């Protein structure tokens, strides 16, 4: 009996020609099942990805201090009235001097340097060039120290930074902490002077304490050309000194080459700005953390500042949010649904506490959208971005007092609380024996005290792009079967080569996207003064002409090619989806926020793309509805149209006839800051959008 059973099993595992039949592995069987049912799974995964993005505010965790050595608030403040008086005296002298000597920025710089010298600091001055804003493709991936300098700049146009260094009595000079206060020495206002007063109050204390183990650098950045440029110029000289002879030497006795001083490796940096009067009844502290290409500082640095500001100094702490979402009716309905589901789950099991009130959901969603958008843009939200480009953890603190700048009665308390906040943060960083590394570097903020880690928010992106390889495989099989039935030539039935025609079309349009990405450089070289609207027209006209040339030069590339000479649309869509999947995955490594927003736009557009002619011929409701959705998604996915919609979403309104100029200005800011989002738009999103347009008008 056992022998007969064994012989039966041997017969079952053999094929017709007698060779042994290999049983597919479970993972292969699962892949075949997913490809066979790709339409259903693409809908399920896409809906799950959008749902996962909407429930992120519910999954936010409370922030916590990961590094035990930080110990924020454990030490008693050593600030005294004498230190506050020093800061108040500096502010008073600056205001008096500006009233009596209008426009004399050099003298104000000397005044600040004099106060630093009286605190036994090593003082020096650094001149820097104003930076031009010109796109150059060869400098796109260059370091933060490569700048385009303006020509014919007079000596009066050079900016001058003032810096002072306090050597740590318990340190070895190998590490330092940087305090930055941007100040316009020519047109600085009263609120900007208050930031100098706070830092001077702290600097007066740090000059005489004995617990410092890291050097302290106070940089007063000349912000007449913006807040970022002076800090970046100082960091460039700090880390990469230039030994070539500069034309700065002809502009006075203070020059960069002779007296520039350095301390140790920068462990952390804090940028302090006092900006306008608070709209609330308490002093407001805004935290800006986003740097270039979605880089973020270590979360512990934000946690320390937030803890000290809220629990020690009584500041109202906030981060940026999309204000228009706070009054969104559809988002409020979603919040009410989540709140009801949370209450129902809590009644079933008291341990299930994932529901939050509607107001908290709206606040978290608005803050999350702002954090995601700021990271996706890839543009620093403050001067701290210059430090992050040099792998230094830094944040910008913008304080808004609740009193007018000329109120002397409230100024003393404001200086005391602001300086104590900085003192506590410096004491925490001073305790570290190594760089920040315990907490997260990849995260999204939903409030100053809540965050979403990379392990949570990457799920939404993974669900969105998961259908792409399944649908690509299914369409390839379908397209190959259709091509096999349509030809009698056996040499054309080699399925392994049928995707080459579609690959050539995809490659041609991606090459076109690369050329379009480089066009702004050549447009900027056109002589004469041209407005952004005119430059956008030149860009659009040249790009359209190149697209027509591409369609005419490459056989089968145009969507209007005869169906007998073109590629089957299913194979073309398969290769297009594969290219979109590769581009999105590569972008997620560079800037995850850009990949997330790009997936929300590109994945539905690629999945819904289908020829419109068969739908018009069949006149069935299902086909007509699919073609309509495809046209709507293509319209929304066009970069200029999505830019206009995002402007309206952020409460800025549509820009009407100046849309092209506004779009050019926006792109100009992306390439000026070397944002990888600019490359994604030109080399991934635009080619895939054009390919979907070719599929829509395919002569099927």
Q: Assess whether pLDDT exceeds 80 at residue 464.
A: yes
Alpha-carbon span 205 to 108, nearest angstrom: 22
What's the mean pLDDT in 619-625? 81
Do 156 and 105 touch, CB atoms closer than 8 A? no
400 has which bridge partners? 284
Cα 683 from Cα 673, distance rounded (Å): 18
> Which whole number is the average pLDDT over 301-311?
94
Rounded Cα gap, residues 649 and 652, in angstroms: 7
Residue 230 has pLDDT above 60, yes or no: yes
pLDDT value, residue 156 = 63
Q: Rounded mean pLDDT of 408-434?
A: 91
pLDDT of residue 10: 47
CB of 14 within 8 A of CB of 20? Answer: yes
- SS3 category, 403: coil
Task: Answer yes or no: is pLDDT of 101 > 50.
Answer: yes
301 CB-near residues (< 8 Å, 6+ apart): 268, 393, 394, 395, 429, 436
Cα separation of 18 and 10, whole Å?
10
Question: How many Cβ atoms sit within 10 Å of the Cβ of residue 91?
Answer: 22
- Copy the structure tokens of residue 454: 């990379």
Distance, CA of 1 to CA of 14 (rounded, Å): 21
Q: Which two tokens stand for residue 295?
A: 């880089």
Per-residue model confidence as pLDDT tens digits over 181-211: 999 888 878 888 899 999 999 999 999 999 9
Which percentage of the chain shows pLDDT scores above 90?
A: 41
The proportion of the chain whose per-residue pLDDT surpasses 70, expressed as a percent, equals 84
Q: Phi/psi of residue 206, each to 5°?
A: -65, -20
Based on the number of CB atoms within 10 Å of its own CB, is 23 exposed (0-12), middle (13-18) or buried (19 or more)?
A: exposed
Render pLDDT for 141-163 as a digit per residue (tens, 0 to 9).
Answer: 554 444 444 444 556 678 889 99
Joined tokens for residue 536: 């956008």
Q: What is the pLDDT of residue 647?
A: 76
Residue 659: C-alpha distances to residues 322, 540, 644, 655 (Å): 21, 13, 7, 5
Q: Phi/psi class of residue 320: alpha, beta or left (left: φ > 0; alpha: ψ in -120 to 50)? A: beta
pLDDT in tens, 377-389: 999 999 999 999 8
Which helix (H) or strand (E) segment is 314 a member of? Answer: none
Instruction: Decide: helix, strand or coil at residue 53.
Output: helix
> Which pLDDT value is given to residue 150?
46
What pLDDT sits at residue 1?
47
Least confident residue range of 38-42, 350-354, 687-691: 350-354
Query: Which pLDDT score is estimated for 197?
Result: 93
DSSP conformational letter for 74? -
* pLDDT of the residue at 148: 45
Instruction: Kindly indicate the confidence band of residue 535, based on its pLDDT and cuts at 50, 70 and 90.
Output: confident
Dihedral of CA atoms 454, 640, 576, 678 in degrees, nearest 10, equals -50
Calpha distance 150→131 (Å, rounded): 6
**Mean predicted lDDT score pLDDT of the chain:** 83
> Dihedral angle at the C-alpha atoms of 535, 541, 547, 552, nearest 10 degrees?
-150
Report DSSP state, residue 149: B
Which residues, at least 6 apart from 665, have a Cβ–Cβ distance to it below 8 Å?
532
Kindly tell me the burial class for residue 197, based on how many C-beta atoms sit within 10 Å of its own C-beta (0-12, 13-18, 19 or more). Answer: buried
Place of tokens 């409701």: 621
Alpha carbon distance 158, 419 (integer Å)? 31
Of residues 684 and 141, which shows the higher confidence score? Answer: 684
Least confident of 59-68, 144-153, 355-364: 144-153
- Check residue 149 and give its pLDDT: 45
Query: Mean pLDDT over residues 301-323, rounded?
Result: 93
pLDDT of residue 273: 94
pLDDT tops 50 at residue 11: no
Cβ(259)–Cβ(125) below 8 Å? yes
Q: Name the pLDDT band for 245 (thresholds 50, 70, 90).
A: very low
The whole-angstrom distance between residue 317's C-alpha and the CA centroid of its chain comes to 22
Q: What does the pLDDT read at residue 559?
A: 62
Helix locations, 349-431, DSSP H: 358-377, 384-389, 408-431
- For residue 598, the tally of other CB atoms under 10 A from its CB is 27
- Per mean pLDDT, which range of 45-59, 264-278, 415-429, 643-657 is the poorest? 643-657
Please report the DSSP string for 202-251 in residue order. Answer: HHHHHTT-S---SEEEEEE-BGGG-SHHHHHHHHHHHHS---S--GGGGS
The confidence score (pLDDT) of residue 460 equals: 93
What pLDDT, on a 0 to 100 scale, did the predictor assign at position 331? 92
Contact between 189 and 223 under an 8 Å Cβ cutoff? The reply is no
Q: Which carries the bigger pLDDT value, residue 138 or residue 245?
A: 138
Highest mean pLDDT among 409-413, 435-439, 574-578, 614-618: 574-578
pLDDT at residue number 145? 44
Q: How far apart are CA 672 and CA 416, in angstroms?
A: 39
Question: Does 499 score more than 80 pLDDT?
Answer: no
Mean pLDDT of 462-489: 79
Lowest mean pLDDT among 113-122, 162-171, 255-264, 657-666: 255-264
């Amino acid at each position: 009996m056992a022998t007969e059973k064994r012989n039966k099993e041997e017969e079952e595992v053999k094929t017709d020609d007698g060779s042994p039949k290999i049983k597919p592995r479970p993972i292969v069987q699962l892949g075949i099942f997913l490809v066979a049912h790709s339409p259903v799974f693409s809908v399920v995964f896409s809906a799950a990805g959008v749902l996962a993005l909407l429930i992120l505010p519910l999954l936010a965790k409370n922030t916590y201090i990961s590094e035990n050595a930080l110990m924020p608030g454990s030490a008693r403040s050593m600030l005294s009235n004498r230190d506050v008086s020093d800061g108040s005296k500096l502010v008073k002298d600056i205001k008096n001097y500006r009233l009596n000597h209008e426009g004399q920025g050099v003298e104000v710089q000397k005044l600040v340097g004099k106060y630093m010298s009286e605190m036994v600091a090593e003082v020096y001055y650094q001149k820097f060039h104003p930076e031009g804003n010109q796109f150059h493709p060869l400098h796109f991936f260059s370091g933060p120290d490569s700048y385009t300098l303006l020509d014919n700049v007079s000596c009066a146009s050079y900016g001058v930074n003032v810096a002072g260094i306090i050597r740590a009595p318990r340190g070895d000079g190998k590490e330092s902490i940087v305090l930055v206060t941007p100040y316009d020495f020519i047109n600085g206002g009263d609120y900007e002077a208050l930031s100098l007063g706070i830092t001077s109050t702290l600097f007066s204390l740090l000059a005489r304490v004995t617990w410092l183990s890291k050097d302290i650098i106070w940089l007063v950045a000349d912000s007449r050309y913006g807040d970022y440029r002076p800090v970046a110029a100082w960091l460039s000289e700090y880390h990469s000194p230039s030994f070539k002879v500069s034309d700065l030497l002809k502009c006075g006795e203070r020059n960069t080459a002779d007296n520039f001083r350095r301390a140790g490796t920068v462990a952390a940096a804090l940028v302090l700005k006092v900006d306008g009067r608070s709209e609330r009844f308490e002093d407001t502290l805004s935290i800006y953390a986003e740097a270039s290409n979605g880089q973020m500082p270590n979360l512990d640095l934000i946690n320390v500042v937030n803890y000290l500001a809220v629990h020690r100094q009584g500041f109202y702490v906030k981060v940026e949010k999309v204000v228009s979402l706070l009054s969104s009716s559809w988002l409020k309905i979603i919040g009410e649904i989540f709140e009801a589901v949370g209450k129902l789950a809590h009644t079933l099991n008291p341990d299930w506490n994932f529901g939050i009130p509607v107001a908290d959901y709206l606040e978290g969603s608005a803050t999350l959208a702002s954090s995601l958008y700021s990271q996706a843009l890839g543009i620093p939200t403050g001067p701290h971005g210059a430090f992050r480009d040099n792998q230094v953890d830094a944040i910008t603190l913008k304080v808004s007092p609740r009193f007018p700048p000329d109120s002397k009665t409230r100024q003393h308390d404001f200086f005391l609380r602001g300086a104590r906040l900085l003192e506590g943060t410096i004491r925490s960083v001073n305790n570290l024996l190594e760089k920040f590394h315990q907490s997260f570097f990849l995260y999204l903020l939903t409030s100053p005290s809540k965050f979403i880690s990379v392990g949570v928010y990457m799920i939404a992106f993974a669900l969105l792009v998961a259908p792409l390889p399944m649908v690509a495989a299914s369409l390839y099989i379908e397209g190959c079967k259709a091509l096999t039935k349509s030809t009698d030539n056996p040499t054309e039935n080699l399925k392994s080569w049928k995707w080459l025609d579609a690959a050539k079309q995809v490659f041609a349009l991606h090459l076109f996207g690369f050329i379009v990405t480089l066009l702004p450089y050549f447009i900027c070289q056109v002589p004469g003064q041209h407005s952004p609207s005119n430059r956008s027209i030149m860009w659009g006209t040249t790009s359209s002409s190149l697209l027509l040339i591409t369609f005419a030069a490459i056989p089968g590339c145009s969507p209007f090619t005869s169906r007998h000479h073109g590629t089957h649309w299913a194979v073309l869509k398969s290769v297009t989806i594969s290219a979109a999947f590769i581009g999105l995955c590569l972008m997620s490594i560079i800037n995850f926020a850009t990949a997330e927003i790009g997936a929300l736009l590109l994945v539905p557009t690629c999945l819904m793309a289908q020829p419109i002619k068969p739908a018009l011929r069949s006149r069935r409701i299902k086909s007509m509805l699919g073609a309509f959705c495809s046209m709507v998604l293509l319209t929304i996915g066009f970069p200029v149209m999505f830019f206009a919609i995002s402007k309206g979403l952020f409460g800025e309104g549509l820009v009407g006839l100046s849309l092209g100029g506004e779009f050019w200005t926006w792109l100009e800011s992306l390439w000026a800051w070397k944002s990888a989002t600019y490359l994604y738009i030109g080399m991934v999103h635009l080619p895939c959008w054009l390919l979907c347009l070719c599929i829509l008008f395919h002569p099927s």
